[in-house]
Amino acid sequence: MRADTGVKGQVGQALANKRDRRLRDWKEIAGFFGRDERTVRRWEQQRGLPVHRISGGARSLVFAYTDELEAWLRGDEPPQQDETAALAEEPIAAKPVVPEAPAAAVLKGTTGPHWRTVLGLGAIAMVLAAFAGAVVARDAAAPPARIVYHPQSRVQNLYLDAVYHLGTRQADGLTHAIQLLTEATTLDPNYADAYVKLAEAYNTVSQFTLMPSNEAYPRALAAAGRAIALDPDNAGAYAALAFTTFYWTKDFPKSRELFEQAIRLDPDAAQTHHWYALTLLVSGETATPLSEITRAQELNPESRAIVANKALILFYAGRVDDAVMILQQLAKAEPNLRSPPEYLATIYLDQGRFTDFLREYRRAAEIASNGARLAIADAAAKGLREAGGAGLLSAMYAEQKRQYENNLEPAYKVAGTAAMLGRDDEAISYLQEALRRKEDDMLGIRIEPPFKGLRTDARYRAIVEHEGFRPAPLPGA
């Protein structure tokens, strides 16, 4: 089907300068012809303009090749052999399906762009064979070189500013990063890396602020899915999706599969190794998380979050002194970072160092501006003065229950103090309530020190299994 000769005359000179270029959206396609978007959309529908869609994406996600558009203007038949090769080289888009339940599959299968309008059945068979060969080759060899996407400078600057603020791991920084990335993706909805960082920001924000996880994680899931639809070989997108799959949908096997896929795509991404290490830790492993976090630190030695979490992993691996030394140094260097005092409080409480525990617990509450935790610290300090360690735990437990009744302290934390006091029935009751409420802290149930005394309790082991973890081996097993 031929275009109007008038159109040929208008774009003839432009064609000479735009050969072999990929046009990424309707705006660029319209600009190529010097027409508006409405016109070129009509040409696609009525005259067979060769426009391709990204499978799994919104209908507006299109692209075109200038040499094909030239051929369309000339009225040439589409070169089937060349198009088959082009399809084999084109990244295959996959759109993640938001799981309706933890066991739901996270990713659908992949399909290529829609070529039925330009290829016959024989050519389609060739395309399918080429696609199968490309998938096998990609699985058997190193990841193929990715097409580098270059956004406009304004969008790029928004992205870079957001990455900086995201790295602060402070509430204000995370909020500002989300604002910047939202603006960047609004201005350029095809910028996959901006969606990756938006997913990372939402994955992080509920852990550093009071933003509810049921608001943050679904947004992270959507942003990661959009990034994969735009760039199916984007390692950061798979890492972000793996994180959300672990902490939100709690499909642990799928999360591990996605992390390993991300590492295959980019073995040198510190963030991926970092997150992977943490998910393996709460699953009850120690050796592999330590090797993963060490690799993350090698790749990004300046990351404060990686250093803090390496210390935490060292603690769970039994290297308490090493962990304390690292966290003390980090707390001194970064006094506004919340994780060092939080982790030190966990360690000191487990070690029975109650004065040190109170100091770090209070510091973490001050950084987080958490009034409920400050009240708990005050009560615990009074209990310590009056009756030593037992008084601290008893006073802390009473205040935690009061804050829990006001929905300001999770049931999981109350359960931990009850367990340390030897009140096993109450601890189990609060854990069951935390389970019912789907509290985020429940992911620590298998490994956290307060529950050591419950590990032989059948009720506790049943809760651990319900969360998707294998209970720790029984003594002597």
Q: What is the pLDDT of residues 420-470, one digit of tens each?
A: 999 999 999 999 999 999 898 999 999 999 999 999 999 999 999 999 888
Instruction: Give residue 77's pLDDT.
Output: 46
The model carries a pTM of 0.68
DSSP label at 246? Answer: I
What is the pLDDT, as a whole number, of residue 76?
54
Q: What is the reported pLDDT for 74?
A: 67
Predicted local confidence at residue 39, as pLDDT? 82
Q: How much is the pLDDT for 209?
A: 64
- How high is the pLDDT of residue 394? 98
Looking at residues 314-324, what average pLDDT do you find? 96
DSSP string, 119-177: --HHHHHHHHHHHHHHHHHHHHSSPPPPPPP---HHHHHHHHHHHHHHHT--HHHHHHH
pLDDT over 80 (residue 264): yes
Asked whether the beta carbons of 184 and 171 are under 8 A apart, the reply is no
Least confident of 89-93, 203-207, 216-220, 415-419: 89-93
| pLDDT at residue number 144 | 54
Helix or strand run (H / E) with residue 52: strand 52-53
Length of the chain: 477
Percentage, residues of the chain above pLDDT 70: 77
Which range has the worst mean pLDDT, 40-49, 310-319, 413-422? Answer: 40-49
All domains of the chain, ordered by start, with CATH?
Answer: 1-77 (1.10.10), 92-140+152-267 (1.25.40.10)
Task: Please classify residue 471 by burial: count the beta carbons closer than 10 Å to its beta carbon, then call 0-12 exposed, 13-18 middle and 19+ buried.
Answer: middle
In 3D, which of 38, 33, 37 has the Cα closest to residue 3? 33
Q: Which position has the higher pLDDT, 8 or 251?
A: 251
Supply the mean pLDDT for the chain. 81
Max distance between CA atoms of the chain, in angstroms, equals 95
pLDDT at 425: 98
- Residue 121 clears pLDDT 70, i.e. is over it: no
Q: How confident is the model at residue 373 (pLDDT cuts 50, 70, 90)?
A: very high
Task: Decide: helix, strand or coil at residue 22.
Answer: strand
Question: 228 with 237: CB under 8 angstroms?
Answer: yes
298-309 burial by CB neighbour count: b if 16+ within 10 A, else e?
ebbeebbbbbbb
C-alpha span between 302 and 102 (Å, rounded): 35
Which residues neighbour 94 within 8 Å (Cβ) at sequence distance 6 or greater? Answer: 56, 107, 108, 109, 110, 228, 229, 232
Q: Is the pLDDT of residue 135 over 50?
A: no
Burial (Cβ within 10 Å: 0-12, 13-18, ≥19) of residue 214: exposed
Check whether 218 has a pLDDT greater than 80: yes
**Cα separations (Å) of 103 from 179, 232, 250, 466, 477?**
32, 23, 8, 13, 30
Please state which of the ranges 85-99, 328-342, 384-398 shows the lowest mean pLDDT: 85-99
Query: SS3 for 338-397, per residue?
Result: CHHHHHHHHHHHHHCCHHHHHHHHHHHHHHHCCHHHHHHHHHHHHHHHHHHHHHHHHHHH
